[in-house]
Amino acid sequence: MRDALRAATTQLDGVSDTPRLDAELLMAHALGSTRDALILRYLDDPTPPAVADLVLRRLAHEPVAYITGTRDFWTITLHVAPGVLIPRPDSETLIEAAVDYFDGTTGPRSVLDLGTGSGALLLAALAEWPQATGIGIDASEAAIAIARDNAQRLGMTDRAQILRGDWTGYGGPHDLILCNPPYIGTDEPLPRDVAEWEPATALFAGADGLDDYRQIAAVLRPQLAPGGVACIEIGATQADSVGALFAVHGFAVSLRNDLAGRARCLIVT
């Protein structure tokens, strides 16, 4: 497997910013093991035959998460597939902001995740606060099926409802609202891994990328409990424009950057 990993890394260098990591994840998946176990125990074993086909899929720019069917997010592991946006470490900034907001308290009792996708934000929040219950809303039947599957895999079906809906949400008001809406402008370029594989409805939000924020800002107030907080993901250049949309509706807005120092989360109260 050492030689096969070197060869795969060379092959993937032209399609990935992390070719060695991709090669290791694909090899571990073909082996039916974890990446850590692969590195520690199996590098001198024969190469699994399935790895060649997995590398070919990656060479076609299929995301690794779709090939392996899994993605780690916060403290949980999620099932992902075409039809839902792949959870990214940048989105963990929303959970970090919520953890800081509720620091020193018992935490939120009710969580709403608008545009839940795979259920990443909702289920990460419920893992963080075991006393909480929550609702994930999505307009996509494919996303609803995957989010419900993730809730079941994580043993949270008694605490998490996954429902079809729109930005007006459901129930409430809620102590914590999480939202990673579409925010890419229609003509903005995207990597092939994203543009050709991830669902456009979870990515694009009109010419300026702000269409969904306009809708959310207009309907958020009745969904948010007194003393509650909404943590909303934004693009790295959108802090001022999106913040202004919420300020018009009487919200106080602050900003949290991601680990790379880029604007990532609007904290709305």
Judge whether 68 lies within some domain. Answer: no
Distance (Å, whole) CA 68 – CA 109: 34
| Alpha helices, DSSP H, located in 77-119 | 92-101
- Write out pLDDT tens, residues 94-148: 999 999 999 999 999 999 999 999 999 999 999 999 999 999 999 999 999 999 9
Question: At residue 90, does pLDDT exceed 90?
Answer: yes
* pLDDT score for 108: 98
Q: Are residues 38 and 133 in the same domain?
A: no
Kindly report the CATH number assigned to the domain that includes residue 36.
1.10.8
**Rounded percentage of the chain residues whose pLDDT exceeds 70:** 100
Q: Are residues 47 and 83 in the same domain?
A: no
Kindly report the CATH number assigned to the domain that includes residue 165.
3.40.50.150
Per-residue CA distances from 131 to 27, 84, 161, 229, 241 (Å): 38, 27, 15, 17, 35
Q: Are residues 136 and 245 in the same domain?
A: yes
Judge whether 67 lies within some domain. Answer: no
Question: At residue 172, does pLDDT exceed 90?
Answer: no
Domain boundary among 13, 35, 60: 60
Task: Name the domain count of the chain.
Answer: 2
Q: Are residues 55 and 175 in the same domain?
A: no
* pLDDT score for 3: 97
Q: Are residues 101 and 9 in the same domain?
A: no
Judge whether 65 lies within some domain. Answer: no
* Bond preceding residue 222 cis, omega within 30 of 0: no
Q: Are residues 230 and 101 in the same domain?
A: yes
* pLDDT score for 144: 98
| Alpha helices, DSSP H, located in the chain | 2-12, 19-31, 35-37, 51-59, 64-68, 92-101, 120-128, 141-153, 192-195, 211-219, 239-248
Judge whether 121 lies within some domain. Answer: yes
- Write out pLDDT tens, residues 201-255: 999 999 999 999 999 999 999 999 999 999 999 999 999 999 999 999 999 999 9
Q: Are residues 81 and 43 in the same domain?
A: no
Contacts of 56 (CB under 8 A, 6+ apart): none
Q: Which of 127, 17, 107, 131 is nearest to 64 (CA)?
A: 17
Q: Could you tell me the residue range of the domain that residue 22 belongs to?
A: 2-60
Judge whether 69 lies within some domain. Answer: no
Question: At residue 92, does pLDDT exceed 90?
Answer: yes
**pTM for the predicted model, two decimal places:** 0.95
Q: Are residues 149 and 95 in the same domain?
A: yes
* pLDDT score for 95: 98
Judge whether 112 lies within some domain. Answer: yes
